[in-house]
Chains A and B, each alone.
Chain A
């Protein structure tokens, strides 16, 4: 979560961060590094590995569509006008955060109107429009981009920024999953995502930007890089000493990650993932559940003191008819810290949602009986 200061607004900070964002799409790491200069972006650990340690966040990609809207076609970056529009939205979000949120919430507007005896305003659509999002929650819950990303989508390959077609098997799994998710009277916890159940968001879900908890910490020691994610307190211990993957009988939500350094880029390959549970999408639940053959390759390249270019390549022929790639920068921000996210320990929602569904069923059964 976020203890936000606005010191980053200094012109220097914005320029330093913008350079790599505009160059992230469609370029290799080496091209990017050449462009953004060398010395300060290449800190080394005492044992000679590139030093990418610190607290990072994917906040700046908040609001960038995962799949590219079709009207953009193969255009990966925004025009100046589109960028201005996105920047305006970010300003609004900043205002929301600074005001503590309450003054802007639709719920507050409804309450104010009622107190004044006026007609309530129509409920807004989208973010802060529905359900708990409409409540006057403290603004610091939400995280937003600090700068407008130039990217028209998080997916950068294929060139149209859209997911490759699913295999028929994967489509069937996606349909079955959506049926469970949309059941108005969920039968059990299995109706909810692995994230809602506070188990994990998986490798991709742990870094794709969402409404809060977009932070991660990287810690290095000789032979290892460790990544700690705020949300659902996930953690990965990544050996970089050349050892092979675990036997494929050992499977897990975060998979088995092995890493290597290619120049200044950390390359992490993850296999041994549990099949048919998590997906590559927001919170690990967007899209089709992946198979036991999923291989995720990530690339972390520090391109400035405060920016890592992050890439995630998805390869699962049983699910997607072609590999595809997501890329965005993650940044270091003043005052941004990770807090303990005790998800399962505080998961009253699961209890409440299930008991509500059973109560609804009981009411319905009683109503039907009464009509007879």
Chain B
């Protein structure tokens, strides 16, 4: 960029299966046998530094409950916003628009987006799904400090979670022009015994004319969320 900063503008996406489970996990059957191999859960190596999330005992119990109910309670099932850091390794691309002023992150999933304030840091005005993001450059690394979470987002489809005292520090650093290291430090004294880190590699989409498309998933959840409230005579064909 003209200002000497690395150019992060582009369409990025993580590979791998972190969204299924950020910890190491084996291949498993999915919830719907009708989908066969398409519905199965692929194996994956975790992205948590040191392998395990340092839950406090009560939080670990909650995580286990979440896991047991994951296909019902995961906010992703309901097309709710993914929160941070999950937005970075969802199985959908996201677009960075890097202005010399602020930096926009637009995620394909659920049209979620957030603006990274690169000016004087702003205090979170209220708790939100995506938090309040203040960024700065440390040499060639974009560091984003995120606070003001509402505690409703999960980290993955396996029920890993944090509370509304979550504090995430993200570090985006280019490895080369088309590959970026993503590191996030997770701190939440209500849930974890100590701060911990995740590491993911993000890849730039290099297909000709690759673009961020629209995945507004709300309409794919309405039958699930409100189906029992549809007039019975109409439930077969409730409309678009």
- Is B62 in contact with chain A by the CB < 8 A criterion? no
- Which residue, A187, A254, A338, has most C-beta atoms of chain B within 10 A? A187
- Is A220 in contact with chain B by the CB < 8 A criterion? yes
A contact residues around B110 at 8 Å (CB) = 344
Q: In the complex, A340→B125 CA distance in Å?
A: 10
B contact residues around A234 at 8 Å (CB) = 111
- Is A250 in contact with chain B by the CB < 8 A criterion? yes
Besides A188-B230, A253-B214, A345-B152, 14 other A-B contacts (C-beta < 8 A): A45-B100, A188-B234, A188-B235, A188-B238, A189-B222, A219-B104, A220-B99, A226-B104, A233-B81, A235-B113, A342-B128, A345-B78, A345-B81, A357-B231
8 Å CB contacts to B: which residues of A5-23?
Answer: none
Question: Which residue of chain B is the closest to A3 with respect to CB atoms?
Answer: B125
Contact A235 B106, CB 8 Å, known A188-B239, A221-B98: yes
A219 contacts B229, CB within 8 Å?
Answer: no
Task: Mark contacts of A167-191 with chain B using CB atoms, 8 A cut-off: 1 yes-contact digit, 0 otherwise.
Answer: 0000000000000000001011110
- Is A116 in contact with chain B by the CB < 8 A criterion? no
Contact A199 B219, CB 8 Å, known A237-B212, A358-B231: yes
> Looking at the complex, which one of A53, A344, A351, A361 makes contact with B99 (CB distance below 8 Å)?
A53
- Is B240 in contact with chain A by the CB < 8 A criterion? yes
A contact residues around B98 at 8 Å (CB) = 221
> Looking at the complex, which one of B102, B129, B225, B226 makes contact with A342 (CB distance below 8 Å)?
B129
- Which residue, A189, A197, A233, A277, has most C-beta atoms of chain B within 10 A? A189
B214 contacts A233, CB within 8 Å?
Answer: no
By size class, the interface of chain B is 35 or more
8 Å CB contacts to B: which residues of A203-233?
Answer: 217, 219-224, 226, 228, 232-233
B contact residues around A187 at 8 Å (CB) = 230-231, 233-234, 238
B contact residues around A351 at 8 Å (CB) = 225-226, 229
A contact residues around B233 at 8 Å (CB) = 187
A contact residues around B128 at 8 Å (CB) = 339-340, 342
A342 contacts B81, CB within 8 Å?
Answer: yes
Q: In the complex, A339→B148 CA distance in Å?
A: 12
Question: Which residue of chain A is the closest to B229 with respect to CB atoms?
Answer: A354
Contact A344 B218, CB 8 Å, known A188-B239, A221-B98, A224-B97: yes
B interface, CB within 8 angstroms of A: 2-3, 9, 75, 78-81, 95, 97-104, 106, 110-115, 125-126, 128-130, 152, 209, 211-214, 216, 218-219, 222, 225-226, 229-231, 233-235, 238-240
Q: In the complex, A235→B94 CA distance in Å?
A: 12
Q: In the complex, A361→B229 CA distance in Å?
A: 12
Task: Mark contacts of A332-359 with chain B using CB atoms, 8 A cut-off: 1 yes-contact digit, 0 otherwise.
Answer: 0000011110101100001100110110
Question: Which residue of chain A is the closest to B11 with respect to CB atoms?
Answer: A237
Question: Which residue of chain A is the closest to B215 with respect to CB atoms?
Answer: A252
- Is A243 in contact with chain B by the CB < 8 A criterion? yes
B contact residues around A198 at 8 Å (CB) = 218
B239 contacts A228, CB within 8 Å?
Answer: no
Q: In the complex, A219→B98 CA distance in Å?
A: 8
Q: In the complex, A220→B240 CA distance in Å?
A: 35
27 residue pairs A–B, Cβ–Cβ below 8 Å: A187-B230, A187-B233, A187-B238, A188-B238, A188-B239, A189-B239, A200-B111, A200-B216, A217-B104, A219-B97, A220-B97, A226-B97, A226-B104, A228-B104, A233-B111, A253-B214, A253-B216, A277-B240, A337-B125, A342-B81, A345-B129, A345-B152, A351-B225, A351-B226, A354-B230, A358-B231, A361-B231
> Looking at the complex, which one of A46, A185, A235, A250 makes contact with B213 (CB distance below 8 Å)?
A250
- Total interface residues on A, CB under 8 Å, equals 50
> Looking at the complex, which one of B101, B113, B126, B230 makes contact with A339 (CB distance below 8 Å)?
B126
B contact residues around A232 at 8 Å (CB) = 111
Q: In the complex, A250→B215 CA distance in Å?
A: 11
For the complex of A and B, 6 pairs with smallest distance between CB atoms: A190-B239, A252-B214, A354-B229, A188-B238, A340-B128, A187-B231
8 Å CB contacts to B: which residues of A300-320?
Answer: none
Q: In the complex, A344→B98 CA distance in Å?
A: 28
Q: In the complex, A226→B229 CA distance in Å?
A: 38
A342 CB to closest chain B CB (Å) equals: 5
A contact residues around B79 at 8 Å (CB) = 344
- Is A111 in contact with chain B by the CB < 8 A criterion? no
Q: In the complex, A228→B95 CA distance in Å?
A: 13
Q: In the complex, A349→B9 CA distance in Å?
A: 38
B contact residues around A226 at 8 Å (CB) = 95, 97, 104, 106
> Looking at the complex, which one of B81, B152, B231 makes contact with A188 (CB distance below 8 Å)?
B231
- Is A246 in contact with chain B by the CB < 8 A criterion? yes
- Which residue, A45, A250, A345, has most C-beta atoms of chain B within 10 A? A345
A243 contacts B238, CB within 8 Å?
Answer: no
B231 contacts A233, CB within 8 Å?
Answer: no
Contact A254 B214, CB 8 Å, known A189-B238, A197-B219: yes
B contact residues around A53 at 8 Å (CB) = 99, 101
Q: In the complex, A235→B113 CA distance in Å?
A: 7
A contact residues around B234 at 8 Å (CB) = 187-188
A340 contacts B97, CB within 8 Å?
Answer: no
A54 CB to closest chain B CB (Å) equals: 8
B238 contacts A190, CB within 8 Å?
Answer: yes
A237 contacts B100, CB within 8 Å?
Answer: no
Question: Which residue of chain A is the closest to B233 with respect to CB atoms?
Answer: A187
Q: In the complex, A361→B104 CA distance in Å?
A: 47
B229 contacts A358, CB within 8 Å?
Answer: yes
A3 CB to closest chain B CB (Å) equals: 8
Question: Which residue of chain B is the closest to A47 with respect to CB atoms?
Answer: B2
A190 contacts B97, CB within 8 Å?
Answer: no
